[in-house]
Each structure stands twice: as C-alpha cells, then as structure tokens.
C-alpha cells in the first residue's frame, strides 16, 4: 500500500509538474496582433486633448454636429418590437421575412429570380459575415478557385478570403493620377484572368476610393464577364448611401442580372440603416433553378452551424419591421437620402473651401467620387503632418470619411489640407 501510495504520489507530482509547465507555455509563442489601422486612428483621436481635433477616419455616419445617428424609423421599429416578442432562436438561415425584404432591395421588387425561388439566401452577421460565409462556401465547393480583389479595397476583404484559405489575386481599379477608375487596366485584368474566375466587386460607393464605374462601364464589365464566364461576387455595404436612392445604387447588380449572370451578393444594414452594432445583413447566391437554390442554402446553413449556429434576432426584427411597413419604409428612404445628401453637401463644401483658398491643385475628384469616402490623394507624410500639426485624424492612405466632416469643421479641414499640400 505504502509502495503504491509512493508511486502514485510520484506520478501525481511529476504529472502536475508537467501540467504546470505546459500550462505556463501554452501561449508563450503568441505575439500581439498587428493593430487595425482604422481602429488605431480612433484610439489616437480619443487620446488627443486638443479642442480642434477632427476625426475623418471614422467609417460610421455622423450628423452635422459630429454625433452618431439613430434613424427615426429604427426608433419607431424598436418601440413596436419592445415587449412584444419572445427571445427564441431564429432558424439557421435567419429571419425569413428580413431575408425576403432584403432580396427585394438588391434584386428588385418584381424580380423573377425571387418569384422563381432561384436565390439561395441566408441572414448573415452584417456585410463582413456575409462575405466570410461566401468565402468559406467558395473554398468548400470550388476548392481550387482564387478570388480577384480590386486594388485598393476595404482591408478586411484580404483578411476574410485569407482566413477562408482562398488564394488571392488582384485587379487594377484605382488610377493614381486621375484619382478615378483605371478602366482600361481593369478590363485587361478581367480579360487576362483564367476563364471562370471569381471577382469581388463593390456594388456601389467603393471603399476606400469612392470611385465607381459608370453605368456604361458596368455594362462593358458585365459583357466581358459573360465572355470569360467569370463569377461576380458583389459586396454591397452602402446601398442608398451613394446616390441617396437604394434602387439607383443597385444598378451594377441589375445590369449583371439583365445579362443573365449567376451572381453572389453580400448586403449590410450597418450604414444604410445605421444598424452598425446589430450585425444584420444577408448573403445571397443566384442559382440555376429552385432545386439548386435549396441545396446551396442548406450548405450555407451547414457552414454557419458550427461557427455561430444561428444569427441574432433583434437587428433582423428592426429591419423586417421597417421594410414590411409601407410608412416606415418611406421614412427610411427619406432618412437614407438625408444622410447621402449631407455627405454630398460636405463634398461640395470641402472642394469649394479648397478652391477659395487658392489651392494650386485640382480637387474635382472630391465631388466626382461618391459614398462615404474620398480618396484625397494626400500622401502618408501629408497625413502625418495633418495629424501632428492640425490634430486631424485619418488613415495614412489619405482616405477622408465625409461622415466626419461638418459645417463646423470643413473650413478648418480645408485650410489644413491646403497648408500641407500647397507646395506639393
Ligand atoms: C466595402 C465594405 N464591405 C463590407 C463592410 C462590412 O461592414 P459590416 O460588417 O459592418 O456590415 C464594410 C464596412 O466598412 C465595407 O466598407
């Protein structure tokens, strides 16, 4: 007995030493992750005590006093929801009503694809979640495929397809000198990609450049995609935010649909309904027929199941309450337009202020570009100068979020931009 106790206590001692050692070494190799460049800008802004400070790095809408906005239609929907519903799980594919209404926005109220049940669609964790779900789906069912991503793009696109282990290629998009679209090079890249390639396209209000193809250019892109048999995946994070009219902002998608493309689409209510933190969006994939759509949807749900099981209910209820009620929907359309109009107004004001200061540079691109962002053309050094001397914060690629520009700060911002760029 004594012998046995001795042995077992020795085993215990050595195994606990082992346990202690392994426990202390489990995370020894973990280095801090690189800081997200956008979140870093906000941190630095918050830490700056200057009363003059301006944050034009934010990716969220602000009113003319620089304050976050909750839309009146959202407040009303919340009043209607409050106290009325239980907290049960949604189905794996999310709220059927929300998805139905969301598809109408992207594909059109009278879409035959919707009528014929040819769209596989699930509620997603906002636009990011929709992109990620699609990237995983692409990897699972087209394991040898790659994704062509525009240069530049929203930085998270790279993370999303990287983590889904889909190899990435790039295609030309932004033209440095004209600060517009590099259409010729983009078309060359589309033509030179292997037939049947996957392309990521921003449906409207391209982030970070604010540069969108014209309707005519979209038609040419769609035609070339047809010739090459490419797959278009549209990321539509800003529907309504570009022109103020969600129908007009869906034009790129509609052109592809007219040409009979089987597209994929990520939709988000973060910006156009101001539901940033609610994480509500939708992933849809157009299929050949209803049978295929049922199969694709079941596979999308299968991918979601071990990740988050089913999506959150509250944001979906807000969306379906608004879009399902004609009066609330009308109010929403009015409020989206007001947000877009304020942004368009700030573009004009910024350009006019710079021109009034006698800037020797052309600032036409500020009003030519569209959506929340303006790719100003400021260099990383000029951005550093703006931050260090004028307390103006933005990402070092020179992207200005018009959401952070107000009637109160536009003069100060223009003056600072003029000071750092006049001798360039
Ligand atoms: C181009 C683009 N796609 C997707 C998203 C995703 O946003 P969210 O996941 O908040 O809907 C954003 C947000 O900034 C974006 O700019």
pLDDT tops 90 at residue 11: no
In-domain check, residue 22: no
In-domain check, residue 250: yes
Clarify whether residues 134 and 189 are in a common domain.
Answer: yes
Q: Look at residues 290, 324, 358 and tell me which one is the last residue of a structural domain.
A: 324
Q: Look at residues 324, 352, 380 and tell me which one is the last residue of a structural domain.
A: 324
Angle between helices 72-81 and 326-356 (to 10 degrees): 150
Clarify whether residues 382 and 264 are in a common domain.
Answer: no
Clarify whether residues 175 and 253 are in a common domain.
Answer: yes
Interval between CA 126 and ligand 1 midpoint (Å) = 8
Interval between CA 104 and ligand 1 midpoint (Å) = 20
Task: Determine contact, residues 46/387, Cβ cutoff 8 Å.
Answer: no
Clarify whether residues 309 and 218 are in a common domain.
Answer: yes
Q: What is the pLDDT of residues 12-60, one digit of tens each?
A: 555 555 555 556 689 999 999 988 777 788 889 999 999 999 999 988 9
With the most atoms of ligand 1 within 8 angstroms of its CB, the residue from 158, 204, 237 to mutate is 237
Clarify whether residues 57 and 163 are in a common domain.
Answer: no
The band of 9, judged by pLDDT with boundaries at 50, 70 and 90, is low
Clarify whether residues 274 and 364 are in a common domain.
Answer: no
Number of domains in the chain: 2
With the most atoms of ligand 1 within 8 angstroms of its CB, the residue from 268, 319, 397, 403 to mutate is 268
Q: Which atom of ligand 1 is nearest to the CA of 129?
A: 9
Interval between CA 268 and ligand 1 midpoint (Å) = 7
Q: Which residue has the tokens 């009637």?
A: 407
Clarify whether residues 177 and 293 are in a common domain.
Answer: yes
Interval between CA 39 and ligand 1 midpoint (Å) = 14
Q: Which atom of ligand 1 is nearest to the CA of 157?
A: 3
Q: Which atom of ligand 1 is nearest to the CA of 125?
A: 9
Interval between CA 294 and ligand 1 midpoint (Å) = 27
| Ligand 1 atom 11, closest CA | 127
Q: Which atom of ligand 1 is nearest to the CA of 202?
A: 1
Task: Determine contact, residues 354/418, Cβ cutoff 8 Å.
Answer: yes
Write out the chain in H/E/C secondary structure. CHHHHHHHHHHHHHHHHHHHHHHHHCCCCCCCCCCCHHHHHHHHHHHCCCCCCEECCCCCCECCCCCECCCHHHHHHHHHHCCCCCCCCCCCCCCHHHHHHHHHHHHCCCCHHHHCCCEEEEEECHHHHHHHHHHHHHHHHCCCCCEEEEECCCHHHHHHHHHCCCCEEEEECEECCCCEECHHHHHHHHHHCCCCCEEEEECCCCCCCCCCCCHHHHHHHHHHHHHHCCEEEEEECCCCCCCCCHHHHCHHHHHHHHCCCCCEEEEECCCCCCCHHHCCEEEEEECCCHHHHHHHHHHHHHHHHHHHCCCCCHHHHHHHHHHCCHHHHHHHHHHHHHHHHHHHHHHHHHHHHHHHCCCCCCCHHHHHCCCCEEECCCCHHHHHHHHHHHCEECCCCCEEEHHHCCCCCHHHHHHHHHHHHCCC
Pairwise CA distance, residues 100 & 93, whole Å: 12
| Ligand 1 atom 13, closest CA | 237
With the most atoms of ligand 1 within 8 angstroms of its CB, the residue from 147, 153, 205, 207 to mutate is 207
How much is the pLDDT for 10? Answer: 54
In-domain check, residue 150: yes
| Ligand 1 atom 10, closest CA | 270
| Ligand 1 atom 7, closest CA | 127
With the most atoms of ligand 1 within 8 angstroms of its CB, the residue from 127, 152, 234 to mutate is 127
Interval between CA 20 and ligand 1 midpoint (Å) = 43
Clarify whether residues 157 and 300 are in a common domain.
Answer: yes
CATH code for position 256: 3.40.640.10
Q: What is the pLDDT of residues 376-413, one digit of tens each?
A: 999 999 999 999 999 999 999 999 999 999 999 999 99
Interval between CA 133 and ligand 1 midpoint (Å) = 14
In-domain check, residue 54: yes
The mean of the pLDDT values for the chain is 93
Q: Which atom of ligand 1 is nearest to the CA of 127?
A: 11
Q: Is 87 exposed, middle or buried (0-12, 13-18, 19+ CB in 10 A)?
A: exposed
In-domain check, residue 365: yes
CATH code for position 403: 3.90.1150.10
Pairwise CA distance, residues 230 & 198, whole Å: 6
In-domain check, residue 50: yes
Identify the residues whose C-beta falls under 6 Å from ligand 1: 59, 126-128, 154, 202, 207, 235, 237, 268, 270, 276, 281
Give the mean pLDDT of 205-224. 97
Give the mean pLDDT of 269-278. 97
In-domain check, residue 10: no
Q: Is 307 exposed, middle or buried (0-12, 13-18, 19+ CB in 10 A)?
A: exposed
| Ligand 1 atom 8, closest CA | 127
Clarify whether residues 134 and 235 are in a common domain.
Answer: yes
Clarify whether residues 98 and 127 are in a common domain.
Answer: yes
- Dihedral over Cα of 378, 384, 389, 390: its sign: positive
| Ligand 1 atom 12, closest CA | 237
Q: What is the pLDDT of residues 229-270, one digit of tens each?
A: 999 999 999 999 999 999 999 999 999 999 999 999 999 999
Task: Determine contact, residues 204/390, Cβ cutoff 8 Å.
Answer: no
Clarify whether residues 141 and 260 are in a common domain.
Answer: yes
| Ligand 1 atom 15, closest CA | 237
Q: What is the pLDDT of residues 334-354, one digit of tens each?
A: 999 999 999 999 999 999 999
Question: CA nearest 199: which of 118, 120, 264?
Answer: 264
Of 4-18, 91-105, 163-177, least confident by mean pLDDT is 4-18
Domain of 276 in residue numbering reads as 90-324
Q: Look at residues 270, 296, 324 and tell me which one is the last residue of a structural domain.
A: 324
pLDDT tops 50 at residue 63: yes
Clarify whether residues 287 and 379 are in a common domain.
Answer: no
Q: Which residue has the tokens 């870093």?
A: 40
Q: What is the pLDDT of residues 168-203, one digit of tens each?
A: 999 999 999 999 999 999 999 999 999 999 999 999
Interval between CA 93 and ligand 1 midpoint (Å) = 20
In-domain check, residue 332: no
The band of 1, judged by pLDDT with boundaries at 50, 70 and 90, is very low
How much is the pLDDT for 2? Answer: 46
Catalytic residues: 154, 235, 271
């Amino acid at each position: 007995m004594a012998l046995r106790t001795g042995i077992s206590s020795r085993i215990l001692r050595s195994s606990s030493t082992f346990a202690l050692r392994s426990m202390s070494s489990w995370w020894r190799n973990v280095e801090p992750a690189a800081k997200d460049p956008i979140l870093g800008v906000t941190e630095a802004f918050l830490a700056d005590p200057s009363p003059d400070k301006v944050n034009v790095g934010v990716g969220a809408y602000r009113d003319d006093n620089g304050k976050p906005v909750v839309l009146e239609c959202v407040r009303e929907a919340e009043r209607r929801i409050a106290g009325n519903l239980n907290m049960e799980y949604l189905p794996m594919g999310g709220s059927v009503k929300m998805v139905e209404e969301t598809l109408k926005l992207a594909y059109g109220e009278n879409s035959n694809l919707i009528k014929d049940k040819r769209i596989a669609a699930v509620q997603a964790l906002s636009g990011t979640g929709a992109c990620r779900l699609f990237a995983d789906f692409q990897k699972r069912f087209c394991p040898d495929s790659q994704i062509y991503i525009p240069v530049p793009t929203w930085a998270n696109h790279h993370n999303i397809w990287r983590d889904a282990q889909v190899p990435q290629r790039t295609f030309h998009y932004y033209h440095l000198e004209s600060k517009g679209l590099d259409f010729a090079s983009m078309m060359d890249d589309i033509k030179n990609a292997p037939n049947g390639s996957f392309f990521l396209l921003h449906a409207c209000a391209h982030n970070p450049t604010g540069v969108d193809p014209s309707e005519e250019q979209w038609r040419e892109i769609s035609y070339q995609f047809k010739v090459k048999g490419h797959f278009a995946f549209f990321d539509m994070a800003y529907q309504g935010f570009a022109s103020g009219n969600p129908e007009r902002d869906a034009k790129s998608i509609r052109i592809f649909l007219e040409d009979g493309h089987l597209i994929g689409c990520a939709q988000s209510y973060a910006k156009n309904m101001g539901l940033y933190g609610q994480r509500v969006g939708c992933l849809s994939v157009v299929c050949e027929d209803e049978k295929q759509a049922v199969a694709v949807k079941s596979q999308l749900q299968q991918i979601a199941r071990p990740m988050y099981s089913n999506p959150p209910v509250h944001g979906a209820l807000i969306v379906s309450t608004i879009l399902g009620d004609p009066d609330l929907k009308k109010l929403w359309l009015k409020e989206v337009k007001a947000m877009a109009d304020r942004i368009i107004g700030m573009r004009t004001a910024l350009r006019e202020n710079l021109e009034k200061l006698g800037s020797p540079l052309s600032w036409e691109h500020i009003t030519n570009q569209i959506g929340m962002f303006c790719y100003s053309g400021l260099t990383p050094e000029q951005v550093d100068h703006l931050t260090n001397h004028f307390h103006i914060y933005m990402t070092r690629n020179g992207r200005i979020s018009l959401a952070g520009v107000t009637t109160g700060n536009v003069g100060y911002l223009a003056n600072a931009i003029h000071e750092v760029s006049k001798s360039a």
